[in-house]
Amino acid sequence: MPAEKVFVPPDYQRPTESPPEVAAIPFRQRSAVTEPVWVRTILIVVAVGFVGLFLLLPLVFVFVQAFSMGFGEYFEQLSEPYAQSAIRLTLLVTAIAVPANLVFGIAASWAIAKFEFKGKAFLITLIDLPFSVSPVIAGLVYVLLFGAQGYFGPWLEANDIQIIFAVPGIVLATIFVTFPFVARELIPLMQEQGTGDEEAALSLGASGFKTFLFVTLPNVKWALLYGVLLCNARAMGEFGAVSVLSGRIQGFTNTMPLQIEAASKEFSRTAEVAAFSMASLLALLALVTLILKTFLEWRYADRLSSSAQAH
Amino acid sequence: MEIRIANVRKEFGRFPALHDVSLNIRSGELIALLGPSGSGKTTLLRLIAGLEHTTVGKIYFGDEDASQKSIQDRNVGFVFQHYALFKHLTIADNIGFGLRVRPRATRPSRKEIRRRASELLDLVQLPGLDRRLPRQLSGGQRQRVALARALAIEPRVLLLDEPFGALDAQVRRDLRRWLRELHDKTGHTTVFVTHDQEEALELADRVVVMSQGRIEQVGGADDIYDAPASPFVFSFIGESSSLPILVRDGEAFFEDERVSLPVRDCEAGPSRLFIRPHDIDVVADGGGTFSGNVTMVRRNGGGRRVELAIGSGGHRVEIEVPAEVAPAIGSTISIRPRRWRVYADAAPTGPVTTAAAMKAAEPSRAVAAE
Ligand SMILES: Nc1ncnc2c1ncn2[C@@H]1O[C@H](COP(=O)(O)OP(=O)(O)OP(=O)(O)O)[C@@H](O)[C@H]1O
Ligand SMILES: [Mg+2]
């Protein structure tokens, strides 16, 4: 509202600089939203206590257990054939699922942010589906589709293609659960940026592909990296959907999380170290992800979309 | 490059943003699209560029039909209102972008691109800024970089959408003069959009006045100002007041009383009289054409503005008087228009949609007094 429209009655007097009742309060520069010291102390202690008890302690415990029989045993367990196979499988699945979702995420957010089409809102909802559906159900749906009794079962069998209880099934499950991560980072950012830069590039004679490569991609690269990071962490750690689809054959279809569970069910000291040594790898991945994520948020906050920081 | 826009219609969904627009732009001309917000200026500019495609009608560049060509093939320089500089590229890379993305066969060498970029930076009077990033420049500097970037591809036409819209008044004025000089130096056919009439009238060779998806008038500053083709143009350009009158038997009637206004050449029927504040004389002793009560007096630069309520309808008319004259509120003043125009009222149709109805609404019945 323009300042000149503010009505000021002629007998209006400015309030005196510091009302006495405020000056009497002993706290220096106390603002309206600042609680008394004891309230603040309790809140902080409770928060730190919870984080320590439920997040930090288990993490520390993982490493303590992993090294409980010494470094030698730790590396011994990690080089067991089953452990090696699980690590390889997890890396393989991640190496397929993350690029797949990278491509899908870019395509979907490009379509959603830069074009108008019917059913757009529905597509956005659909992308979020894996967040709201239990991974186990997702796994079961794939079993229903591709299992021996499923819709495509007979056809797959006739053509000798194995999806369920094999690597393709695990990849499918992982792609499903990590579906939204890249797209969710890119969509709000691309929508915010609009199509102005792309139009400028096109008007300067750039082809669609060069426009994407030289203009669109650089504009979203940090958000993209952020999404890939989260996608990667989730892909390596996914348990529910994968456990339904893998069949859990040690040495063949056990990923790292499944191998951890398998080892933890054997009640022996070495099995325990086996489970926790593998868990320590995942914990390490989580830590690295966290550090990179924090770095991205700190360094490129302005170039991630505002929703990215809400994660 | 001569541009011919032939009977172009543009719809967004079912909403018509442009109705049957035709316009010839001469080679080397600097032309302004002027009109209120939503009148379709940007839409027309984007159609010329190829950022949008016409629903009906064609656009010719010289003799060739450009309507079917993609934006890349039209070879136009487009300057966006918010610059749309590439944030992650240096100024030099921004300017060289159009050259860098060419297919290998026609792409100049890196060195050549760099040389051209610094040449263009000199042209837009920003030498030595090639290493900077867009965010390290002021708004006016960014606008000039955007222009240099558009010029780098040696466009056949230069299109600017509210090039100075986001800048403050002083910078606007400087850039305006600078753009005119640049245009005269490079000779590009240039179309720019503005809703600032002063900018349009001062800068352009010809002004295209638009309203509600139609072209109301095309002409030089004198034509537009002295011979407005429609009531819309009259009231949009400069200040004006209007009074409802009736023309019958070559005489004018205001509120059923005959007024001494020579309207012999005007079409009979209900009409509107348009006058500008500085084209009205104050007549002593009540001998004028109209008289009214003073409702407001306000100082306006070198003179004084007086608002009158005329007739029983209390129609507001603004007049300009010398600063020395200060009429009292409520006093009666008699006036006589020195220059005016009468436009017959359009038939009271709804929104005009068909070509036939458009003809009927055409302001050919306007008659002016000198
Ligand atoms: N992409 C679009 N989709 C739907 N309607 C549009 C689109 N672009 C423009 N319009 C409509 O077309 C009409 C003309 O818009 P345009 O942008 O050409 O106006 P303008 O004269 O440039 O106005 P301004 O001075 O505000 O920029 C407006 O009513 C606008 O709402
Ligand atoms: Mg516009």
pLDDT tens readout for residues A218-261: 999 888 998 999 999 999 988 888 888 888 888 888 889 998 88
pLDDT of residue B89: 94
Query: Residues A163, A169: contact at Cβ < 8 Å?
Result: yes
- Give the number of other CB atoms < 10 A from CB of residue A140: 15
Q: Which of B18, B43, B51, B195 for mutating ligand 1's site (highest number of atoms within 8 Å of CB)?
A: B43
Q: Which ligand is nearest to the CA of B40?
A: 1
CA-nearest residue, atom 4 of ligand 1: B12
Retrieve residue B77's tokens. Answer: 């320089």
Q: How far apart are CA A43 and CA B312, in angstroms?
A: 74
pLDDT in tens, A15-65: 444 444 444 555 556 677 778 888 889 999 999 999 999 888 988 999 998
- Give the number of other CB atoms < 10 A from CB of residue A60: 12
Q: What ipTM was reported for this prediction?
A: 0.82
How confident is chain B (370 residues) per 10-residue block, as mean pLDDT? Answer: 94 93 95 94 95 94 90 93 92 95 93 93 90 91 93 93 84 87 91 91 94 95 90 91 90 88 84 92 84 91 91 91 89 91 71 34 43
Nearest chain A residue to B95, by CA: A204
CA-nearest residue, atom 8 of ligand 1: B43
pLDDT of residue B263: 82
Q: How far apart are CA A266 and CA A275, in angstroms?
A: 10
Q: How far is CA B156 from CA A39, A275, B33, B61, B234, in A?
A: 70, 70, 19, 9, 34
Nearest chain B residue to A197, by CA: B84
Is pLDDT of A101 > 90? yes
Test B72 with A210 for CB contact under 8 angstroms. Answer: no
pLDDT of residue B366: 46
Is pLDDT of A124 > 50? yes
B84 touches chain A (CB under 8 A): yes
| Residue B41 near ligand 1, beta carbon < 6 Å | yes
String of DSSP letters for B77-126 = EEE-TT----TTS-HHHHHHHHHHTS-GGGPPPHHHHHHHHHHHHHHTT-
| Residue B217 near ligand 1, beta carbon < 6 Å | no
Question: What separation in Å is there between the alpha carbon of B293 and the centre of ligand 1?
Answer: 42
Question: What separation in Å is there between the alpha carbon of B18 and the centre of ligand 1?
Answer: 9
pLDDT in tens, A168-204: 999 999 999 998 999 998 999 998 888 899 999 999 9
**Measured between CA atoms, how close is B70 to chain A, in angstroms?**
9
Question: How does residue A262 score in pLDDT terms, banded at 50, 70 and 90?
Answer: confident
Ligand 1 atom at minimum distance from B162 CA: 27
Query: Residues A221, A305: contact at Cβ < 8 Å?
Result: no
String of DSSP letters for chain A = --GGGS---TT--PPPSS-HHHHTSSSTT--TTPPPHHHHHHHHHHHHHHIIIIIIHHHHHHHHHHTTTHHHHHHHHHTSHHHHHHHHHHHHHHHHHHHHHHHHHHHHHHHHHH---TTHHHHHHHHHHHHHS-HHHHHHHHHHHHSTTSSSHHHHHHTT---TTSHHHHHHHHHHHHTHHHHHHHHHHHHHH-SHHHHHHHHTT--HHHHIIIIIHHHHHHHHHHHHHHHHHHHHH--HHHHHHH---TTTT--HHHHHHHHHTS-SHHHHHHHHHHHHHHHHHHHHHHHHHHHHHHHSGGGS-TTGGG-
Test A203 with B88 for CB contact under 8 angstroms. Answer: no
pLDDT of residue B356: 34
| Residue B77 near ligand 1, beta carbon < 6 Å | no
Q: How far apart are CA A229 and CA A44, in angstroms?
A: 30
Instruction: Give the Cα-Cα-Cα angle A7, A13, A14 (nearest 5 degrees).
Output: 95
Identity at A46, one-letter amino acid code: V
| Mean pLDDT along residues A120-131 | 88
* Contacts A210 to B, Cβ<8 Å: 101
| Residue B337 near ligand 1, beta carbon < 6 Å | no
Q: How far is CA A264 from CA A80, A91, A92, A254, A274, in A?
A: 15, 21, 23, 14, 8
Nearest chain A residue to B76, by CA: A203
pLDDT in tens, A285-306: 888 988 988 888 888 777 676 5
pLDDT of residue B210: 95
Calculate the average pLDDT of chain A: 84
Whole-prediction pTM: 0.78
**Measured between CA atoms, how close is A306 to chain B, in angstroms?**
18
Report the candidate in B88, B108, B198 with the shortest Cα–Cα distance to residue A197.
B88
pLDDT of residue B351: 38
Percentage of chain A lying above the pLDDT 90 cut: 28
Ligand 1 atom at minimum distance from B41 CA: 21
Q: How far apart are CA B279 and CA B320, in angstroms?
A: 8
| Residue B165 near ligand 1, beta carbon < 6 Å | no
pLDDT of residue A23: 47
Ligand 1 atom at minimum distance from B44 CA: 18
Test B98 with A204 for CB contact under 8 angstroms. Answer: yes
What is the CB-side half-sphere exposure of residue A162 using CA atoms within 13 A?
Answer: 7
